[in-house]
Structure 1
Amino acid sequence: MADWNPGAYLQYTDERSRPFGELVARVPGTPATVVDLGCGPGHLTAVLRARWPEARVTGVDSSPAMIEQARASDPGTEYVLADLATDRHTADVVTSNAALQWVPGHRDLLPALADRAARTFAFQVPGNHDAPSHLLLREVAARAPYAEVVGAVERRATADPDEYLEILARPGWTVDAWETTYTHVLQGPDPVLRWISATGAQPVLHALEAADPALRARFEAEYGAALREAYPERPYGTPLAFRRVFAVATRTP
């Protein structure tokens, strides 16, 4: 996959940031150090600063474009280019917002990631892999001529709260796991297409673009029409239901 596009990702900053604010609000205590895994373009550092103004924050991301954007917009914070699965930063609190679903086998990594936190490990991942937006992505991508380029589109499934609880609930830890479905009201033309084009559809779109920009444009037209039918515009905007799964694992005294 080509690199991420920070500008496209930041189109819906408020909607994408809200779950992270609700995640860190459930983290107890006042940490001195925080590591944010999958920090993206650095826009969530403000959420961490508002929660813990005195903490030293380190952002980690595997995207050069995202790290470059983060360093430019927030030069006072340390941002590190590294793979989330192999990075070894430790802190009082380790957080991750909508990033671990991109890490192969992320369930198996969770205990080790939690162990890097002296106090609390907290993360949020999308739980909408079977929503119409993703079902249609897989369905349209499986049609000719797109399938010849992109192959089978992975169902990038995350776990339910009870599974994350089972993984993280070990001796010496307490775990709070839950889910929330947000109904975002998006504005403008083809808002669901613009939303998913910056995130879940990126691998498909990049593959098509690399093969033939005209093929990507054709796919976006076909996929966009399917999304408009699945998510019809209302007088007040286009509602998008988005399920997210949260877990906060805290060491017991």
Structure 2
Amino acid sequence: MMSDWNPQQYLKFKKERTQPAFDLASRIEIAAARALDIGCGPGNSTQVVKDLFPHTELTGVDSSAAMIETAQKEHPNLRFVQYDVSGPLDGLGGGYGLVFSNACLQWVPDHHNLLPRLMELLCPGGLLAVQVPVNFKEPIHQIIERTVELPQWRDRILYHRSFYTLRPEEYFDLLAGISADFTMWETVYMHRMPSHEAIMDWYSSTGLRPYLDAAVDQEARQGFYEEVFRQVKEAYPVQANGEIIFRFPRLFFIARGAPAGNAAGFGKASPH
């Protein structure tokens, strides 16, 4: 079982992690009376939404007690609630003009059922705005997945990640069936990293974290980390100024709920 998320480790790259939240929120053209930030983490994404829409009644939710505690401490004027959206959503209420989620849903299973349930939280014409990483083909991901399958680690790192993120084409077909309208785009961020250690710091709080948590002992944890680190240094070249380019592709979409009186049609022509 994974330990709780580490807010301090996560916030080492606050600026880089917050930029996609801003890029997503800045594409939202109308202010909602009520909004929900799913997977709010330490509150940085929630603050982005609040800054852009100061009059919106906003609640941030996250499954991590540590993240919620940090969010409340860092953003005392905002409201945060611990909640796991992988289960029933009844406790979240409904009637939201905006359901926002930045870099969270990749950890939640069954998007074919999850997204329709999130759309049901919206008031008529409300928006679902989502960003998920799509960096499966990047070196860091490939290194971790390849290494954990080697014989020397298979019985010492007791974790195999399930990837819940769909292909863009699958999201397209899904959103076309559950929304009145939607838009999608992808951005590749070129983060400037000062060292290979910085890349490891970044991933130790996210993608690498569950593998390290699942190590059978400290020796296995340290050994796996060092082996991944060795390959990261080979895979990411150092630029002329000493920095390293850390590519990070992310997929965005904004979907609009059906207008009032058209809950079943989702923008499609209704029979007369």
Q: Is the Cα–Cα contact under 8 Å of residues 129 and 155 in structure 1 kept in the other structure? A: no
1:240 aligns with 2:246: yes
Give me the whole-angstrom Cα distance separating, in 2, the residues matched to 1:155 and 1:82.
21
* Correspondence list, 1:60-209, <5 A: 60-85=61-86, 86-88=88-90, 89=92, 90=94, 91-118=96-123, 119-151=126-158, 153-170=160-177, 173-208=180-215
- 1:208-227 Cα deviation digits (max 9, x unpaired): 1xx21122111111110101
Q: Give 1:147 deviation, angstroms.
A: 1.2
- 1:187-243 Cα deviation digits (max 9, x unpaired): 2451211111110111101011xx211221111111101011111222241101111
Give me the whole-angstrom Cα distance separating, in 2, the residues matched to 1:143 and 1:201.
16
Q: Secondary structure at the match of 1:149?
A: coil
Aligned to 1:212: 217
Give me the whole-angstrom Cα distance separating, in 1, the residues matched to 2:175 and 2:236.
36
Q: TM-score, normalised on structure 2?
A: 0.87
Give me the whole-angstrom Cα distance separating, in 1, the residues matched to 2:238 and 2:38.
35
Question: What is the percent sequence identity of the aligned residues?
Answer: 35
Give me the whole-angstrom Cα distance separating, in 1, the residues matched to 2:175 and 2:11.
31
Aligned to 1:15: 16
Q: Which runs of 5+ in 2 are unaligned?
A: 260-272
* Counterpart residue identity of residue 52, structure 1: F
* Counterpart residue identity of residue 26, structure 1: R
Rg larger for: 2
Q: TM-score, normalised on structure 1?
A: 0.93
- Aligned residues: CA RMSD: 1.7
Q: Give 1:171 deviation, angstroms.
A: 6.7
Query: Post-superposition, which runs of at least 4 consecutive aligned residues in structure 1 deviate over 3 A?
Result: none
Q: Is the Cα–Cα contact under 8 Å of residues 100 and 129 in structure 2 kept in the other structure? A: yes
Give the 3 Å change call, closer, same or farther, for CA 171–222 of structure 1 in structure 2.
closer
What is the aligned length? 251
Give me the whole-angstrom Cα distance separating, in 2, the residues matched to 1:134 and 1:170.
31
Q: Is the Cα–Cα contact under 8 Å of residues 5 and 198 in structure 1 kept in the other structure? A: yes
Give the 3 Å change call, closer, same or farther, for CA 150–215 of structure 1 in structure 2.
closer
Q: Give 1:19 deviation, angstroms.
A: 1.0
Q: Give 1:109 deviation, angstroms.
A: 1.0
Q: Which runs of 5+ in 1 are unaligned?
A: none
Q: Is the Cα–Cα contact under 8 Å of residues 196 and 233 in structure 2 kept in the other structure? A: no
